[in-house]
Amino acid sequence: MSARTKARKRALDLLYAADMRQVPVERLLAAEAERAVNEPERQASWLYAREIVDGIVDHLEEIDELITTHSRGWTIERMPAVDRALLRIGVWEIVYNDEVPDPVAISEAVEAATVLSTDDSAGFVNGLLAAVSHARG
């Protein structure tokens, strides 16, 4: 597993935990940063995970608006929490991170949805992120 894939998983874990606990993700970031300092082998994935989460926090309103616009009949609140977090990561990478090609961002999110979410999630995530990518293209 690449360092970026691990970082996406760490970002997903943080976003999901904050959503489930209904606490600000910034609170969880502080604890995770402390763990990263004490576990140097996690440093490579931590830096990108932090970049993802910070980017989502900074642009949450715009990211959620894009998700809502392209979700066709699903409110963001009705989506499974895992899908919501994966979509936020994917939209952030597509819109705000020029280092990651759109197809890579989409593929990573779809793969995670296949493993971690419902049977229908991979197709939903794929369609929504492809629509975001196409709309900005």
pLDDT reported for residue 106: 98
Number of domains in the chain: 1
pLDDT band at 1 (very low <50, low <70, confident <90, very high): confident
What's the CATH code of the domain at 89? 1.10.940.10
Q: Which residues of 102-119 are buried (b: 16+ CB within 10 A; e: fewer)?
A: beebbebbbebbeebbee
Residue 68 is part of which domain span?
Answer: 3-136
* Tens-digit pLDDT profile for residues 29-85: 888 887 777 777 777 788 899 999 999 999 999 999 999 999 988 899 999 999 999
What pTM was computed for the model?
Answer: 0.94
* Tens-digit pLDDT profile for residues 75-102: 999 999 999 999 999 999 999 999 999 9
